[in-house]
Amino acid sequence: MCKIIALANQKGGVGKTTTAGSLGIGLAKKGKRVLLIDADAQGSLTASLGFTEPDKLEITLANVLEKIINDNAINGTDMEPDYGILKHNEGVDLMPGNIELSGLEVSLVNIMSRELVLKNYVELVKDRYDYILIDCTPSLGMMTINALACADSILIPVQAAYLPVKGLEQLIKTIGKVKRQINPALEIEGILLTMVDARTNYAKDVTALLIENYGNRVRIFKNSIPMSVRAAETSAEGISIYRHDPKGRVAKAYQSLTEEVIANGR
């Protein structure tokens, strides 16, 4: 059984893309077959995995979804499951994203069953993987709704700061709406605190606020991701934290997160 996890937060700069890449490669290191889907028009996940010019790639998620829309309008799709997929040398597959997703998001508004286009793609490839991780755009637009419509669960990275924690309410309401109207199976995988400076009382206060507001409704991962310059450097290198700084605190934190996600099961 393939588990599909969307990583989403309508606020940018919370470590979402880093978490998608690090969790995906962490799962691959545990012997899991993993597909990462870059559903963000900025192409940050694609660039951080070493494909430094996403906008020059011939086939990306936008092309694949356009093909599905056009084919379905005629008579189903005959697309090969590995169409457009890139291989990363740390054991994960990647369906890249780039700026063309912006145009696609606009055109989705006029399409029948517009929330389910990404689900059609995922159904085509999911038998080949144990985990599919979808890195969502930092908004609650149509691509994010598509990701939530096909996901089993959503992992929410949140920066350990007051405003990002307070801003979670809107996202949780959207998740509830998608669960009621489109995807009854959708669950929250958990809230992951990122960029935590454990030396400060401020980080402890934010953690306490998170537990107080959401702890009885949503799983909060025991593990959190510490603030680290080394983690920020990985995007420029095109390699994971496991290769860039294998003995550092961030690599150990993502390893623990990976074990927690595997333990969560479905």
Q: What pLDDT, in 10s, does the model give residues 107-125?
A: 887 787 889 999 999 999 9
Query: Mind listing the pLDDT tens digit for each residue in 18-61?
Result: 999 999 999 999 999 999 999 999 999 999 999 989 999 999 99
Residue 76 has a pLDDT of 58
- Selected residue with higher pLDDT from 12 and 74: 12
Q: Across all residues in the chain, what is the average pLDDT?
A: 89
Q: Spell out the alpha helix ranges (H) of 151-189.
A: 162-166, 168-181
What's the CA gap between 86 and 59, in Å, rounded?
Answer: 10
pLDDT (mean) for 83-110 = 91
Q: Domain extents for the chain?
A: 3-264
Q: Quick one: fold of 3-264?
A: Rossmann fold (3.40.50)
Contacts of 185 (CB under 8 A, 6+ apart): 152
What residues are paired with 196 via a beta bridge? 226
pTM, entire model? 0.93
Alpha-carbon separation of residue 27 from 30, 144, 256, 260 (angstroms): 5, 23, 11, 11
Q: Is the confidence at residue 235, as pLDDT, over 70?
A: no
More confident residue, 89 or 14: 89
Q: Which tokens in the block code for residue 6?
A: 């969307």
Q: Which of 169, 174, 258, 171 is nearest to 221 (CA)?
A: 258
Report pLDDT digits (tens) over 177-221. 999 999 999 999 999 999 888 778 887 888 888 888 888 888 999
State how far the Cα of 93 lies from the Cα of 82, in Å rounded to an integer: 9
